[in-house]
Structure 1
Amino acid sequence: MLNRRGPGLITGMLPVLLAALFPVLITDPAMAHVSEQGLVLLLPTEHYITSGVLSVVASIILISLTPKHIVQRLFAPGTRRLPALPGRVCDTISVLSFLVLAGIVYVGITGPRDPLTNLLPLTIWIGFWVVLVSLVGLLGNVWRCLNPWSGLYRLLIGPEQQGLLPLPKRLGAVPGLLLFTGFSAFYIVDPAPQDPDRLAGFVIAYWTLTFAGMVIFGGPVWLARGEAFSILFDLISRVSPFGNGPRAVPGFPGWALVPSTPLPLSLATFSLVVLAMGSFDGLKETFWWLARIGVNPLEFPGRSAVVGSSLLGLVLAIIALFTVLLLAVWAGQKMANLGASQTQQLSLEMLFRSFAPTVLPIALGYHISHFMISFLVDGQYLLAVLGDPLATGANLFGLAQTRVTTGFLNTPDSVKTIWLTQAGIVVAGHILSVLVSHAVAMKLFSTPRRAALSQIPIGVFMVLYTLFGLWLLASPRGA
């Protein structure tokens, strides 16, 4: 890895997000796998980063010169709808998902303490957080049937149950936004999120809270506005070629991010929190960040020693991204409104609500890229544990833990292939965001000229974020 100067953090204030952070309890750190990236030192990453940034710049220029009718046709929803799963089938899958989750939690509590041999941490952090999030972004919202609440709710409460209390409309999806920010704090800040007992407590508490919210406010209402992962998967699935509806509509990736009406402000903000969380999760491991908080990266003292700085960094990352994108949208609004009549001018809030979700392809691309090494290594541990979930000596998949290999991280050729794949995914995510953002601008503004002008500051933001994302991949890490 190359030691480069990192970008500065842009600070600001967004106090409401402070309330989102769950209390972080101090405990002994759990074992966790740290991937080796030393051979990246041998790669000419400056050339690859330059090429990636220039690719994003080229996409901005090309889409700006593309006729409006072509852009609109590209991001129009398809005319063919794929059949949806029948409601009873979906409910059955959901009930089975609940039973599987209960079994995994039981194994987590009664199984070995090592996170690399316990089914619960591997399932949650690799199977759920790494694999499922990526699949939803590529294949559509399978979580709609897979979630472990809706089937049981309909079985016990009934599909028409409206809830005991109304959830105020003015809140929008703020409850889900706060819960997701709390989850981000648990994952990034907590000293031992992979500890089986600790993680089991978190899963049980979150499942119970969600089911209680469904009973109190109504199942569909709480899943749409209060359940953090249902909201996350609904947003991420909009990046996929199949959209986020119950009936998939194949089209160009990201077409569902060009809606007829802007998303509510809470969902637009949620989109930014997803990107900020992923970005800071990578940043906190770099030599640059550790130097900022006074930690020797070669003698990392453990997560317990950096709880305060990690919590502050997460908050500042959310604030910084919110502030920078808001400024970019504001500058674009001013440029697009030059010479326009009063009736043609659009409000800043409407523009922010429209453009904030266009960062989701960046978030998905960085998520896949960031966790690629974890998937390649810890995914082997997951397969090994799935082959013997009760630690009885079985080996259903023929992959014992003693055969888990990291050999592909020890040769320059394989490391180069992995790093270039990661970089390519990051660049592809940024290019798709550029295309989606321009398509949104074409829908909002009356002329291609105004649309192109509105995209200049946002394009600068996209280019700089590409540089930042690729820098994160190439930066040395000490935590």
Structure 2
Amino acid sequence: MTGVHLVGSGIPTLLPTHGVGTRTDLPVPTPLTLAAAGGAVLISFLVLTLFWRRPRTRKDAGPALPAAVDALVGSVVLRTALRAVTLGVLVGVVVLGFAGPTDTNRNLGPWLIYVWLWVGLVPASVLLGPVWAVLNPLRLAHAVVARLLRLDPADGVRPLPAEVGRWPAAVFLAGYLWVELVLPTRADPPVLAGLIAGYCLVQIGLGCVFGSSWFAGGDVFEAYSRVIGSMAPIGRRDGRLALRNPLDGLDDLDAGPGLVALLVVLIGGTAFDGLSRTSFWQSAGATGPLDGTVGLALAILLIAVIFLLGTASTVATTARDTRRHPPAAFAHALVPIAVGYAVAHYFSLLVFDGQQVAILASDPLDHGSDWFGTATHVIDYTLVGTNTIAVVQVLAIVVGHLVATVAAHDRATRLYPDRAAVRTQYPMLATMVALTIGAVALIGAP
């Protein structure tokens, strides 16, 4: 993510550096904090082994929401209208990139994409579910193009192979993270506009080939929102919107092809973002695109290896227990970790730099207009203090890993006998503790 540097005037300046934090003086971590974070995960596992001996997640739990609410959310007219609005905003971002202010600090596009879209999707999806599936402007653009080409928008030219799954989204996510964290010119409006236009053309073209089902696993933003949205307290039961326990939603997440890859890339990218802001990384002189590319790839690889080691006992067989399950059976446990990492790393970005979107929206062309009366406002950096940010960061990481531990344990009790369920979770426990301590250390590393 494009970093933000605070200059004397109080106006943020987007810089082509690693990291996103607007505050770097957070009073986090101490050895005591690291020990407490890891200890919380360990204690939670011990409690689970004693009092959580059978699966408790239920796919049919939770009361249904009123029929009027369900009808409104599912309304084709409403979805079309919302997608038309987001499509207009998307077109506006591209136009502003090529014809708007050349100064990144005065161009609305980078702030909308890097702050409101990418970071804002996390809380929106966690609270409301897969919101981007409803708002996705590419679905509307694809439907229009398909009709013009006399294609069936739903079916396309050929069926999408089931084994494709979320693999395309994982690949596009890796590309997005490379742009966001490595590409030196990522904040330049024309560069960003060109990348957005190219991405949209590719997505719409693939949608025409494979039909509208492509976007669920092919568009990185929709796939990301759908996976994160599995934790939302709102879901569907028997086709109706209903309230639910987030653990029930996690357990119901489809562990199809590419899910592990998508989550591993997401967590690895966030971890690299934290690493790239440390003095260790900077003092090593790792500031070039090649260094960033290698670092990002190694971070993703590290998370992949850690997850595979954590699930190693689930694929092993013994003379007494011949049951075996692939690592993907526990991929849902990575979702709360991904959410925790995102909140920890980007909370202050959304709170502070999210204000810049409202400021620039009043004068998008930088011609002196003030449409919403906010053009002369400045970002209020006193809105949230460093202590609050530090608490949110640590809690997000610890709670994310606690929920992940519970989700993995519940799945194990469903797949294995009592003692085997606990035994298969020992490597996962070690993984959770290590990731917790490492994540807390990164957010406070100088």
Number of the residue aligned with 2:288: 306
Looking at structure 2, the residues matched to 212 and 44 of structure 1 have their Cα atoms a distance apart, in angstroms, of: 47
Normalising by structure 1, report the TM-score.
0.81
Number of the residue aligned with 2:46: 61
| 3-state SS, counterpart of residue 180 of structure 1 | helix
Matched ranges for 1:108-257 at <5 A: 108-157=97-146, 161-220=154-213, 222-243=214-235, 247-257=240-250
1:331 to 294, 304, 313: 313
Contact kept, 8 Å, 1:362 with 1:426, in 2: the verdict is yes
1:380 to 343, 351, 355: 355
Contact kept, 8 Å, 2:52 with 2:410, in 1: the verdict is no
Contact kept, 8 Å, 2:362 with 2:369, in 1: the verdict is yes
Looking at structure 2, the residues matched to 80 and 400 of structure 1 have their Cα atoms a distance apart, in angstroms, of: 43
Number of the residue aligned with 2:298: 316
1:259 to 240, 244, 252: 252
Structure 2 unmatched runs, 5+: 1-13
Number of the residue aligned with 2:428: 458
Contact kept, 8 Å, 1:68 with 1:442, in 2: the verdict is yes
Which has the higher mean CA deviation after the structures are superposed, 106-115 or 74-83? 74-83
1:340 to 310, 320, 333: 320
Looking at structure 1, the residues matched to 312 and 26 of structure 2 have their Cα atoms a distance apart, in angstroms, of: 39
Shift of 1:219: 1.7
Looking at structure 1, the residues matched to 30 and 351 of structure 2 have their Cα atoms a distance apart, in angstroms, of: 22
Number of the residue aligned with 1:287: 279
Looking at structure 2, the residues matched to 75 and 60 of structure 1 have their Cα atoms a distance apart, in angstroms, of: 24
1:40 aligns with 2:26: yes
Looking at structure 1, the residues matched to 313 and 18 of structure 2 have their Cα atoms a distance apart, in angstroms, of: 44
Normalising by structure 2, report the TM-score.
0.86
Shift of 1:77: 4.0
Which has the higher mean CA deviation after the structures are superposed, 47-56 or 229-238? 47-56
Supply the AA of the counterpart residue of 1:359. L
Call closer, same or farther: CA 1:161–1:251 in 2, change over 3 Å: closer
Structure 1 unmatched runs, 5+: 1-27, 296-304
Contact kept, 8 Å, 2:86 with 2:137, in 1: the verdict is yes
Looking at structure 2, the residues matched to 59 and 474 of structure 1 have their Cα atoms a distance apart, in angstroms, of: 24
> Alpha carbon RMSD of aligned pairs, Å?
2.7
Shift of 1:60: 1.4
| 3-state SS, counterpart of residue 191 of structure 1 | coil
Call closer, same or farther: CA 1:309–1:244 in 2, change over 3 Å: farther
Shift of 1:385: 0.7
Shift of 1:475: 0.4
Contact kept, 8 Å, 2:22 with 2:352, in 1: the verdict is no
Looking at structure 1, the residues matched to 176 and 86 of structure 2 have their Cα atoms a distance apart, in angstroms, of: 21
Contact kept, 8 Å, 2:165 with 2:256, in 1: the verdict is yes
Number of the residue aligned with 2:439: 469
Contact kept, 8 Å, 1:332 with 1:458, in 2: the verdict is no
Call closer, same or farther: CA 1:177–1:37 in 2, change over 3 Å: closer
Shift of 1:252: 1.6
Number of aligned positions between the proteins: 423
Question: Sequence identity, in percent?
Answer: 26
Number of the residue aligned with 2:6: none
Looking at structure 1, the residues matched to 352 and 389 of structure 2 have their Cα atoms a distance apart, in angstroms, of: 13
Supply the AA of the counterpart residue of 2:443. L
Shift of 1:174: 2.3
Number of the residue aligned with 1:389: 364
Supply the AA of the counterpart residue of 1:128. L
Contact kept, 8 Å, 2:133 with 2:216, in 1: the verdict is no
Contact kept, 8 Å, 1:116 with 1:378, in 2: the verdict is no
Number of the residue aligned with 1:431: 402
Supply the AA of the counterpart residue of 2:409. H
Shift of 1:156: 4.7
Which has the higher mean CA deviation after the structures are superposed, 98-107 or 243-252? 243-252
Shift of 1:374: 1.6
Which has the higher mean CA deviation after the structures are superposed, 419-428 or 169-178? 169-178
Shift of 1:100: 1.9
Shift of 1:209: 0.8
Supply the AA of the counterpart residue of 1:174. W
| 3-state SS, counterpart of residue 249 of structure 1 | strand
Contact kept, 8 Å, 1:140 with 1:244, in 2: the verdict is no
Deviations 1:36-72 (A, max 9, x none): 545435x663333332222222221222222345x51
Call closer, same or farther: CA 1:309–1:271 in 2, change over 3 Å: same
Shift of 1:266: 1.5
Looking at structure 1, the residues matched to 343 and 335 of structure 2 have their Cα atoms a distance apart, in angstroms, of: 12
Deviations 1:328-352 (A, max 9, x none): 2113554xx556343xx114xx2x0
Looking at structure 1, the residues matched to 303 and 171 of structure 2 have their Cα atoms a distance apart, in angstroms, of: 17
Shift of 1:76: 5.9
Number of the residue aligned with 2:415: 444
Contact kept, 8 Å, 2:101 with 2:365, in 1: the verdict is no
Shift of 1:396: 4.7
Looking at structure 2, the residues matched to 402 and 97 of structure 1 have their Cα atoms a distance apart, in angstroms, of: 25
Runs (4+) of structure 1 exceeding 6 A deviation are: 31-34
| 3-state SS, counterpart of residue 393 of structure 1 | coil
Number of the residue aligned with 2:266: 274
